[in-house]
Amino acid sequence: MNRIGIIGAMEEEVAMLKEQMKDVTVKEKAAMEFFHGTLNKKEVVVVRSGIGKVNAGICVQILADDYQVDAVINTGIAGSLKAEINIGDIVLSTDTMYHDMDATEFGYPIGQVPRMDVHAFPADETLRKLAKTACEKVNPEISVFEGRVVSGDQFVADKALKNQIIERTNGWCTEMEGTAVGQAAHLNKIPYLIIRAISDKADDSAQVDYPTFERQAILHSVKLVEELLLML
């Protein structure tokens, strides 16, 4: 993997990575700024995609077409869908699935994109194993989990909706971009990994938790990504 694309939905999720890059050139496309350079001696393209599935999918396609990246890492924050996954912990994607895709009227299960060859988009096992080792090294105070990341164009802050998503998807955390990254990577045959630090419990406490723990969660993700690059 010679060139790695690193995506964060929000500027806060990639700002610290950008600050440490060297030999940087910046190009703008689709209202996104692509920072191409080196980080921990690895060639990277770091970009803030913007929030939501469409932004994330467009971003991956640009990384594929314009930069021919060998892998895509999407770092950011998410809401926990399991009691044992606490604020600050990390979830690494085994696969990704939409929780708001509903074509059941046509015989598809919840989450299935009609006429796609998979129900959920498998993440790269090698990247995940390396990320787990990296996380345990640099974030020993937290737990790291491997499971399904589910996505929808919703900030989930309602316990009833949370329970419905869990029942429908068997997800481990919920957010707004990961599955679009997974789908675009799958279509382009690019290995990918979603890294999510937990910022809230995706329930009625989410609006209280989120501002408090956002920076802590992002810092855990950034440390993991930096260490992972050294291992690739």
Chain centroid to CA 21: 20
Catalytic residues: 13, 200
Q: Identify residue 175 by its one-letter amino acid code.
A: E
Report the DSSP pairing between strands 71-80 and 173-175: antiparallel
Contact (CB, 8 A) for 56 and 180: yes
Sign of CA dihedral 209, 212, 216, 219: positive
Buried b (16+ CB within 10 A) or exposed e, 140-152: eebebbbbbbbbb
Contact (CB, 8 A) for 36 and 143: no
For the chain, how far is it from start to end, CA to CA, in angstroms? 7
Q: How many CB atoms lie within 10 A of CB 84?
A: 9
Alpha helices in the chain (DSSP H): 11-19, 53-67, 125-138, 159-169, 178-188, 206-231
State the burial class of residue 88 (Cβ atoms within 10 Å of its Cβ: 0-12, 13-18, 19+): middle
Q: Identify residue 195 by its one-letter amino acid code.
A: I
